[in-house]
Structures are given as structure tokens and as C-alpha cells.
Chains A and B, each alone.
Chain A
Amino acid sequence: MKKIYVNEQWCLACHLCEYYCAYANSGLSDMVQALKDKPLHPRIQVEQRGTVSFAVNCRHCSEPLCLKSCIAGAITEKDGLIVIDQDKCVGCYSCIMACPYGALMPSESGVMQKCELCATNSHGLPVCVQGCPNQAIVYEER
């Protein structure tokens, strides 16, 4: 299955992935409308320290600890894709407790969100990867 992988060496800490992600999952068709003067809630986050930086998002683990820990059965696996049903989520933070990568975070409404590889929004292909200026994140089979 294709997943997002990080080529840390090429990350520029431009943070564009975060903006593209927040836009892609806003449900709006205009980036300005989606993001202007609003707090940003991306599902991918750039870690940065000195000259090192890289983006972190859900790894879509084959042994997903979030799924095994979710108290609501809100996290499920579909053909390798780990998705979260925000309707079922009650915001208990068990998944945050379990995820070894720190890849889940609360959404604006308090229920959890995570990267779903843009398979569940209208974009189809991971927008962060498309927006990365330096192929520091790639979407491929490994």
C-alpha cells in the first residue's frame, strides 16, 4: 500500500504541508477562505530544531496501537488505511496515549483527527505531498 514517507534530509521546515493539510480537510474549496485568520488544525506537523526538521503524520501501522486502544471503536482499518470516525469519537485521548509517533491530535471540535492520506476528503491524493516543494515527503510503496 502507498504511504507517506519522510525524507528528512530534504525537509525545509517551510511548514507548507501543514497548511495544505488543514486546507484539504477543511471541506472548503478555497484555501484563503479555509485558513485566513483561523487557528490551524493540521494533521501533519513539522518538528523543527536548529537545522533539522521533518514532518510527522500517521504511519498507518500494520499493528495500529490507536485502533487497539480506542475506547469507542472509532478507529478502524480499511485496506491498510487507518481511519477515524469522528462521529463515534468521544475525545478520551486514549489514542494519543497509545500512538508512538504522536500522530493524532484533537480537532477544533475536540474529537480526534489524524491523517487519512486524503483518501477520505475530496482530494484523493495526499495534498501535503503534492504541496511539498522538495519531495521531503513522498507518497509511495515501500
Chain B
Amino acid sequence: MGINYLYPDFEVVRNQDRCISCRVCERQCANEVHSFDEATGRMKADESKCVNCHRCVSLCPTRALKIVKTDHTFKENANWKGEVIQDIYRQAESGGVLLASMGTPKDYPVYWDKMLVNASQVTNPSIDPLREPMETRTYLGQKESVIKRDANGKIITKTAPQLKLEIPIMFSAMSYGSISYNAHKSLALAAQELGIYYNTGEGGLHEDFYQYGKNTIVQVASGRFGVHPGYLNAGAAIEIKMGQGAKPGIGGHLPGSKIGEDISKTRMIPLHSDAISPAPHHDIYSIEDLRQLVFALKEATAYTKPIIVKVAAVHNISAIASGIARSGADIIAIDGFRGGTGAAPARTRDNVGIPIELALASVDERLRQEGIRGNVSLVVGGSIRSSSDVLKAIALGADAVYVATSALIALGCHLCRTCHSGKCNWGIATQNPELVKRLNPEVGSERLVNLITAWNHELKEMMGGMGINSIEALRGNRLMLRGIGLHETELNILGIKHAGA
């Protein structure tokens, strides 16, 4: 075995006075942390396997368990932090790229938390959303910037295809494969009930889910998995995935071991073959190439569905967005560097890309300056954590937001960030039928509906406080935001004043 340089990150603390040896923890931990000691009649734990997902803690009927962060420590300093040292030990042992899941945990500034929202006092009365109408419905798609008339002088009312959202929040792309059948079904059911959309991700659409097509966005990614005319026409919109916030510039790799019967059928690839998404689309090297794909997809769907182009937030995002807005796309989705992932190289996840807040502000500004803001709707994602994040995103210029991590947390995810192990104890990021079963879509969808409904209530309340009664009036209304603890450059990019100013 050699020397083990790594000390377990967590300690499993069991209150033996409370433990009744029901063995639920043992049965429910796919990491096989807990076991029953016949000799003593007591439960014991091997904490080296614990990933701190809290499945056991949540199910323990006597609350006998807690998982604590170990206070074992390296002789660290500000530069050589414990995790840095650990990573080196790990790579010295494995010789491999470090893999990680979910959004970056690194301590980069979260601009949402550095912006404050306005409220009306005296001159501009606030609105009580319980008594007065408050509109959170919004439409995504190209908007005409001029009024057009026909030969008889009548106004032409026909617009480009739109997505109608009852609440300006959508579930962003998570492929069937990276998440489970039941997770997908939960999202689909919730989207249907909420009058919003969920996104298939790049793994195709399971035949069982065609029935939720009206609330589905189908994705076309570099691997083109599961793409066929039926698929393209199944959803309400098509999204071309150019990039992902957690791993800009990187493709994807779903190992053959996860390509079971169902997934192979859905993705249209051979059983147990690796599903490799190339880093680029091999047919897209320019905005012109992108335009070809956009129109190819429009042709395939008879111009009835809006086309979304999803990109990661990177350094030149505003120029890129400007190009996309001219490509014929209807919606641009921008994914910030905190966006989640089922698996990404840790270094990419933690070091590549830019914060979504800055990307959004600069894109919105650039499109306005160029007079093409109406060409596209803007959807932003990458760690939208609460209704106030949603509100601030809209005030910064977004038409709607994408949430993935928050949705998974609602489904039970505890951000243990070991999705790539395939042993998700909550039945979300796994294909093991025994684990998938743990997520009953009836329960899951109800929790999602609750979450988004709650956010919607909060949104309305805050909008009311600002004296604003529709999303339209909030969008790009940066006067409603003030920065706190931000320096000049940041304020400039965000296009907001400092608090007090």
C-alpha cells in the first residue's frame, strides 16, 4: 500500500447514546462508510470513504449522526494551503488530471453579493403584490425594433417565434447520462407545472419525455448525440451548445461504463462506447459557420422554434455575443464560470472563464450600443442561487436566468461534488438503478415547483418594493442596483453606481 499521504476530509460523528443500530445509514450509503459490528452490536464507520453527502445524516431517525470537517491539518500557509498540498499528493500518486464536479468552490468574488437593490420611498410608491397585479411572465426571442406595416398600412403583428415563460427562470442543460432518468423526469414535470422550460442537455431526449415537449429545450452539442428530426421538433426551442461555464474550451467524456441500454438508445451511440463531445463543433470555426447551423436548425423546424446559442463566459464575451446576435440566433445563453458540471478537469473549472455578472453587464451594454439588443434575448446562468440573484441578473440586463445547481439542491443534492464517481447517494447524478430509485419524480418535481414558486413570490415582493410591476420594467434597469465594496473598474463594467451615490 505504501504511505498514505491523504487524511480523510471528514469525520463521521455518531452519538452512540442515540444510535439505535437501525442500519439505515449502512443501507443508504453507496460509499459503504457505515457497517454493523456484530461483535459489539454497534455501528461503526470508515470515514476515509465519506464524501459528506449527508444521505445518512438526513435519514438517521434519531439524529445520531453528524459529519464534521476534520480539524486535522497540514502545516499550511497562505500560499501552500491544505488542498493545494493534497492535490499534489494526489497527482504524485495517480499521475492523472484531477477531476471535479459541480461549480468551482474557489473564493472568487461573488458580485451578486456585492450589489444592493433599491426600494421606493415617498416619491414613487411601492406596490403590494398581494393586492395588485404583478407580471412575471416574459417572452424570449427576437423582438422587432421598428413597427412594420403591410401594403394596406396595417401593422404587421407576426413576430419571430418566442418562448413564453410564466416565471423568468428555466432549468438549464443537464444531460440524461450526467443526471438520472428520475432527475430528468422531475425537471420535466416541474417545468410543465410551472409553465417554464427544462433543457435536455447534450444527451438526447428519452422517448418517455417527448410528452413534455412543450416545456422542453432540446440541445445540439458538438457530439450531436441523439439529434434527429424528431428530436429537433420535439421541443419548444433548440439550443446550440458552444460552451459551458465550468469547462470553457473543453469537450466532454461520458465513459462507456455509463452508456447502458437506455442511454445508448437515447444518444444513438453503440452500447458501452465512450460518448465523446469534441471541444469545438467541427463544423463551426466562425460566426458564419454558426449562422449556417442556426439556419439549418430553423429549416429543420420550419422556422417555428427559437434557436438559442449557449456560450461560456470568457474574456471577449461581448464581442462573441455581438457576433451571435448577428447570426440569426434568437436567444443567447451565457454560462458563468461558477456553472455546475457532472465532471470537469479541476484546473479548468477553477481557473478558466469569468464571472457571469460581469459578462452579462458587458454583453447587454455592448448589444445596446450596437443597437442589436432586440435581436436576441439574454439568458444567464452559472450559480444563480436565490431570487435576489434572479432579480439582480434581470436588472443587469438579462431576460431570464438558467438554474441547474439550485435545482439539483432542491432535489436533494448536497454539493458533495463527487458526481463523477457515479455513486450519487441522492439518485441524481448516477445511472445505478438502485440509486436512481431514490429520487421519486413525484417528490422531486414537487420540491422544484415549491422552490421556483417561492422564488417567484420573493421576486414579486422585491419588485413591488421597488415600485416595479413587471419584468419588462425591471430588465436592464441598472439604476435599481448599487455596488458595495467594489472599485471603479468593477462598477464601470457592471454599469452601476456605488452605494450611497
The residues of A with any CB-CB pair to B shorter than 8 Å are: 7, 9-10, 12-16, 19-20, 23, 31-32, 35-37, 51, 131, 133-136
Contact = CB atoms under 8 A, between A and B. Distances in A.
B440 A35 contact: no
A32 B20 contact: yes
B437 A12 contact: yes
A131 B62 CA distance: 12
B433 A14 contact: no
A19 B61 contact: yes
Nearest to B59: A133
Contacts of A36: 18-20
Interface stretch (B22-30, B140-148, B242-250): B22-30
B59 A16 contact: yes
Interface in B1-49: 17-20, 22-24, 27-28, 41
Contacts of A14: 24, 27-28, 59
13 contacts: A10-B440, A12-B27, A13-B27, A15-B24, A16-B61, A19-B24, A20-B61, A37-B20, A131-B61, A133-B59, A134-B437, A134-B438, A134-B439
A36 B15 CA distance: 12
B260 to A, nearest CB: 15
Contact of B28 (A7, A12, A20, A35): A12
A51 B440 contact: no
A131 B20 CA distance: 16
B76 interface: no
B440 A19 contact: no
Contacts of B41: 37
A9 B18 contact: no
B130 interface: no
Given A19-B22, A19-B61, A135-B443, 18 more contacts: A9-B437, A10-B440, A12-B27, A12-B437, A12-B438, A15-B22, A20-B61, A23-B61, A32-B17, A32-B62, A36-B20, A37-B20, A51-B433, A133-B58, A134-B440, A134-B443, A135-B440, A135-B442
B434 interface: yes
A16 B22 contact: yes
Nearest to B18: A32
A7 B182 CA distance: 15
A31 B437 contact: no
A55 to B, nearest CB: 14
A134 B439 CA distance: 7
Contacts of A7: 440
B426 to A, nearest CB: 10
A27 B41 CA distance: 25
A-B pairs with lowest CB-CB distance, top 4: A35-B20, A10-B440, A134-B440, A36-B20
A32 B19 CA distance: 7
A32 B438 CA distance: 26
A79 to B, nearest CB: 28
B20 A51 contact: no
A31 B62 CA distance: 7
Interface in B48-71: 58-59, 61-62
Given A14-B59, A16-B61, A31-B62, A51 B434 contact: yes
A78 to B, nearest CB: 30
Nearest to B19: A36
Contacts of B434: 51
Nearest to A136: B440
Nearest to B41: A37
B25 to A, nearest CB: 10
Contacts of A20: 61
Please indicate which of the listed interface residues A12, A19, A37, A51 has the most CB atoms of chain B within 10 Å of its own CB: A12
B103 to A, nearest CB: 27
B20 A19 contact: yes
A107 to B, nearest CB: 19
A131 B61 CA distance: 8
Nearest to A50: B434
Contacts of B443: 134-135
B59 A31 contact: no
- Most chain B CB neighbours (cut-off 10 Å) among A9, A133, A135: A133
B61 to A, nearest CB: 6
Contacts of B27: 12-15
A14 B433 CA distance: 15
Contacts of A12: 27-28, 437-438
Contacts of A131: 61
Contacts of A51: 433-434
A44 to B, nearest CB: 14
A136 B24 CA distance: 16
Given A15-B23, A15-B24, A31-B20, A10 B437 contact: yes
Interface in B137-158: none
B432 to A, nearest CB: 10
Nearest to B55: A133
Nearest to B434: A51
Central interface residue in B58, B59, B440, by most chain A CB within 10 Å = B440
B17 to A, nearest CB: 7
A117 B261 CA distance: 41
Contacts of B28: 12, 14
Interface string B458-499: 000000000000000000000000000000000000000000
A12 B18 CA distance: 23
Nearest to A11: B437
Listed residue (A14, A16, A20) with the most chain B CB atoms within 10 angstroms of its CB: A14
